[in-house]
């Protein structure tokens, strides 16, 4: 196993060292649009950028995509499955109650968002809702008077374009400024394989009130997506299509008091309509879900203590032509969460400090029993030192299943299970942050036990695509993220190692599509090289050794996937960028999701102008 890892990772390490040798040129480039500082290529090849685009090569996130991530993507964190991960914008948890396959349907232009932060362990247990492994957290980006427009063409008849414009008042009334921004994006392509075409469109508008310490955002977004792909969700060898329309209306208000103290609250309405087809079977399923949510969270110093509190309520409803309620199931639900965590800091010698946090979260629902989940963390911190932080934490979190798992007929194409209940996750973690030889590094080792996790499994004897099954699963892992800037190059390296032990009880399970589809070893390398004052090279890489899965029919269990981009930014026309980019550079046929064909290598060009 060690030799396999070395064989996969060695080419990336050699390339990284070669690019970092030259330290004699310090260049200043015009400001780039950065959606995530941990990846090199900020825009995808096959379409326009979405929030999920910044996660494709994220060291702490593994995306299992069907075709391209912006079409359909399952977000997995630390070996979890697509329904263990949550999304948070501002203080609001955004999700889809039908299926986790639609969790990443966020109709928001990335230019309106702050770079994502990956919450795990203790942070996820407090900061997330109905997510047991991790939460992708975004903030709303402050608006300034600026904009950009871009058009792109590529292989497989790709045509795409987008435009963004922000406006901010110059005069401040009562210490406040009014601002607003709008965005529009469109993309279409025949796809890199037969039956892989798409047509995507998104429109956004936002109003913002900016204070010296506060920001209020009112957002409206609509996104329409049609895409097709062979074996999209079934392993029968036929193209399947999705036609999705997602509407989001959100209001968020945040006040920052300094010293880390803040108050944030808001509310949202999300509607997701989906038409799913398997033309070869004359199979058609229509779904519509609505979610209304509200939250409040705060961190506030109270004498010698700091109090961290969070409360959120989510109400959802499902309409469906196929998810008929089975006995003891339902089509509407309300969930609520309250978390209270006191915090105290003890001063130590030489400027160090000890920070202790302990509390609990309480989850409840009108459709399931409640759960009290304890959390605790103790951390040693010293900012002016090589070793900056060491922490030990324990966190519990819970989650309720989605309607596809609950309400699908037991003998249908997707076998449901009305007996599924609340999943409970227990996470123990030891981690550190340190600076060494100009590297900024974060590392953690963790053990997580998931009780009654909802997985989708396969049985030889049954004709259906998959069956919802409960599993008790233990995950042991190690993760490391390191970043360094050297002369004209920046590099971000990531490594994750995972080991699992699963118990499906009395259920017959021949293979797992999700819980046992994980990378035992995963290495990421993002490189940005300033070749000159006008040329920029961007390289993203992922090397993996995947757990064996007999449903993965092509591509094996080892793969290197890379994206390469070359950009020209002429000094004579500041703001102009002409770029060419290749995705799946080595044309690997590794299947992210077992039995789902991989996209082919694709090359596209893009011209953008920012002002």
CA–CA gap between residue 204 and residue 108 (Å, rounded) = 7
Averaged confidence pLDDT in the chain: 92
CA–CA gap between residue 246 and residue 249 (Å, rounded) = 10
pLDDT band for 66, please (50, 70, 90 cuts).
very high
CA–CA gap between residue 429 and residue 446 (Å, rounded) = 4
Residue 531 pLDDT exceeds 50: yes
* Mean per-residue pLDDT, 558-565: 96
Residues sharing a CB contact under 8 Å with residue 246, sequence separation 6 or more, in sequence order: 102, 105, 106, 107, 221, 222, 223, 225, 270, 271, 272, 273
pLDDT in tens, 11-41: 444 444 444 433 333 333 334 568 999 999 9
pLDDT in tens, 313-324: 999 999 999 998
Quote the percentage of the chain above a pLDDT of 70: 95
Token pair 């309106």: residue: 112
Q: Which residue has the higher pLDDT, 327 or 361?
A: 361
**Picking from 3-17, 203-217, 359-373, which range would have the lowest pLDDT averaged per residue?**
3-17
Q: What is the CATH number of domain 2-610?
A: 2.40.170.20
- Predicted local distance difference test score (pLDDT) of residue 32: 53
* Mean per-residue pLDDT, 72-94: 96
* Mean per-residue pLDDT, 253-266: 97
pLDDT in tens, 492-524: 999 999 999 999 998 888 889 999 999 999 999
CA–CA gap between residue 477 and residue 313 (Å, rounded) = 32
Query: Quick one: 96 exposed, middle or buried, by C-beta within 10 A (0-12, 13-18, 19+)?
Result: buried
**Picking from 212-216, 302-306, 420-424, which range would have the lowest pLDDT averaged per residue?**
302-306
- Predicted local distance difference test score (pLDDT) of residue 24: 33
**Residues 89, 90, 93, 94, CA torsion sign:** negative
Do the beta carbons of residue 288 and residue 318 sit within 8 Å?
A: yes
The residues pairing with 76 across neighbouring beta strands, listed in sequence order, are: 62
pLDDT band for 448, please (50, 70, 90 cuts).
very high
Residue 62 pLDDT exceeds 80: yes
Quote the percentage of the chain above a pLDDT of 90: 84
Q: Which two tokens stand for residue 3?
A: 């030799």
Q: Which two tokens stand for residue 212?
A: 């010296």
Residue 362 pLDDT exceeds 70: yes
Residue 1 pLDDT exceeds 80: no
The residues pairing with 64 across neighbouring beta strands, listed in sequence order, are: 74
Q: Which residue has the higher pLDDT, 133 or 383?
A: 133
- Predicted local distance difference test score (pLDDT) of residue 541: 97
pLDDT in tens, 150-167: 999 999 999 999 999 999
pTM above 0.75, yes or no: yes
């Amino acid at each position: 196993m060690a030799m396999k890892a070395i064989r996969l990772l060695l080419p990336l390490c050699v390339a990284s060292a070669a690019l970092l040798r030259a330290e004699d040129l310090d260049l200043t480039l015009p400001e780039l649009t950065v959606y995530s500082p941990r990846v090199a290529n900020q825009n995808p090849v096959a379409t326009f950028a979405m929030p999920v685009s910044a996660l494709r090569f994220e060291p702490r996130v593994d995306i299992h995509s069907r075709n391209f991530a912006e079409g359909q993507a399952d977000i997995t964190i630390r070996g979890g499955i697509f329904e263990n991960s949550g999304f948070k914008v501002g203080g609001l948890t955004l999700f889809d109650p039908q299926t986790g396959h639609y969790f990443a349907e966020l109709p928001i232009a990335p230019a309106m968002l702050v770079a994502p932060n990956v919450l795990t362990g203790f942070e996820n247990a407090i900061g997330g809702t109905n997510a047991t492994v991790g939460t992708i957290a975004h903030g709303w980006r402050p608006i300034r008077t600026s904009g950009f427009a871009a058009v792109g063409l590529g292989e497989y008849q790709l045509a795409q374009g987008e435009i963004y414009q922000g406006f901010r008042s110059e005069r401040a009334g009562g210490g406040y400024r009014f601002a607003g921004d709008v965005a529009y994006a469109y993309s279409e392509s025949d796809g890199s394989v037969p039956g892989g075409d798409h047509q995507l469109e998104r429109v956004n508008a936002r109003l913002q009130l900016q204070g010296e310490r506060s920001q209020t955002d009112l957002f409206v977004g609509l996104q329409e997506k049609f895409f097709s792909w062979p074996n999209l969700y079934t392993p029968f060898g036929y193209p399947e299509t999705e036609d999705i329309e997602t509407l989001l209306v959100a209001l968020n208000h945040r006040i920052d008091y300094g010293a880390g103290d803040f108050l944030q609250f808001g509310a949202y309405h999300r509607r997701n309509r989906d038409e799913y087809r398997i033309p070869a079977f004359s199979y058609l399923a229509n779904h519509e879900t609505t979610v209304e949510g509200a939250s409040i969270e705060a961190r506030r110093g109270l004498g010698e203590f700091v109090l961290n509190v969070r409360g959120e309520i989510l109400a959802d409803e499902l309409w469906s032509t196929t998810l008929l309620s089975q006995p003891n199931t339902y089509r509407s639900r309300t969930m609520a969460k309250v978390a209270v965590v006191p915090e105290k800091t003890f001063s130590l010698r030489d400027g160090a400090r000890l920070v202790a946090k302990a509390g609990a979260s309480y989850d409840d629902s009108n459709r399931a029993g409640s759960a009290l989940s304890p959390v605790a963390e103790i951390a040693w911190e010293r900012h002016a030192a090589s070793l900056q932080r060491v922490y030990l934490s324990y966190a519990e979190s819970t989650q309720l299943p989605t309607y596809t798992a609950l309400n699908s007929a037991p003998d249908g194409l997707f076998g449901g299970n009305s007996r599924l209940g609340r999943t409970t996750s227990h996470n123990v973690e030891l981690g550190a942050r340190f600076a060494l030889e100009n590297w900024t590094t974060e590392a953690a080792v963790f053990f997580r036990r998931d009780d009654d996790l909802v997985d989708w499994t396969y049985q030889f004897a049954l004709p259906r695509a998959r069956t919802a099954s409960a599993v008790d699963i233990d995950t042991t892992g190690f993760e490391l993220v390191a970043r360094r800037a050297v002369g004209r190059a920046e590099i971000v390296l990531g490594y994750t190692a995972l080991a699992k032990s699963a118990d499906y009880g009395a259920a017959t399970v021949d293979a797992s599509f999700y819980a046992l589809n994980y990378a035992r070893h995963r290495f990421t390398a993002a490189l940005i090289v300033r070749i000159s004052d006008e040329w920029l090279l961007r390289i993203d890489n992922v090397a993996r050794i995947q757990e064996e899965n007999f449903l993965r029919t092509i591509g094996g269990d080892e793969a290197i996937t890379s994206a390469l981009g070359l950009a020209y930014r002429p000094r004579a026309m500041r703001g102009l960028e002409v770029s060419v980019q290749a995705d799946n550079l080595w044309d690997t046929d590794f299947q992210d999701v077992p039995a789902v064909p991989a996209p082919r290598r694709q090359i596209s060009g893009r011209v953008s102008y920012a002002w």
